[in-house]
Amino acid sequence: MVQLGSCLLRGRGGNVVIRFALGGCTNRPFFRIVVANSRRPRDGKYLEQLGCLDPLPNAHGEKVAGLNLERLRYWLGCGAQLSRPAEKLLGLAGFLPLHPMTVTAAERLRRQRQREQQPEASPADSTAGPGTDTAPGTDTAP
Partner 1 sequence: MAALGARCWAALPTRLRQLWALPVRRALAADAGDGKAAQARPAFTDEAVQALLYKMTGLDLHKVFRPVKKGLKPPHYKLMTEAQLEEATRKAIEEAKTKLIMPPVLKEREPIDDVLAEDKVLEGTETAKYVFTDLSYSIPHRERFIVVREPNGVLRKATWEERDRMIQIFFPKEGRRVIPPTLFKDENLGTVFQQDRHEDVLNMCIAQFEPDSPDYIRVHHRTYEDIEKHGKYDLLRSTRHFGGMVWYLLSRKKTDGLLIDMINRDLLEDATSLITLYHMLHPECQSAKEAKDGKLQGVDLIKVFVKTESQREGYIQLALQAYEEAMATSSAS
Q: What residues from 13 to 52 belong to the interface with partner 1 (CB under 8 A)?
A: 51
**Could you give the CA distance from residue 107 to residue 1 in angstroms, rounded to a whole number?**
46
**Could you give the CA distance from residue 97 to residue 121 in angstroms, rounded to a whole number?**
37
Pairing of strands 28-37, 48-53: antiparallel
- For partner 1, give the closer residue by CB, 9 or 28: 28
Residue-level length of the chain: 142
Phi and psi at 61, nearest 5°, equal 75, 30
Residues 6+ apart with CB under 8 A from 98: 91, 92
Smallest gap from Cβ 95 to partner 1, in A, equals 8
In the list 103, 115, 125, 128, the residue contacting partner 1 (rule: CB under 8 A) is 103
* CA-based max dimension of the chain: 75
Q: Does 66 engage in binding with partner 1 (CB under 8 A)?
A: yes
Q: Does 114 engage in binding with partner 1 (CB under 8 A)?
A: no
Q: Does 68 engage in binding with partner 1 (CB under 8 A)?
A: yes
Q: Does 84 engage in binding with partner 1 (CB under 8 A)?
A: no
- For partner 1, give the closer residue by CB, 4 or 69: 69
- For partner 1, give the closer residue by CB, 38 or 114: 114
Q: What is the DSSP letter of 120?
A: H
Q: Which residues lie near partner 1 (CB under 8 A)?
A: 51, 57, 59-71, 92-94, 98, 102-103, 105-107, 109-110, 113
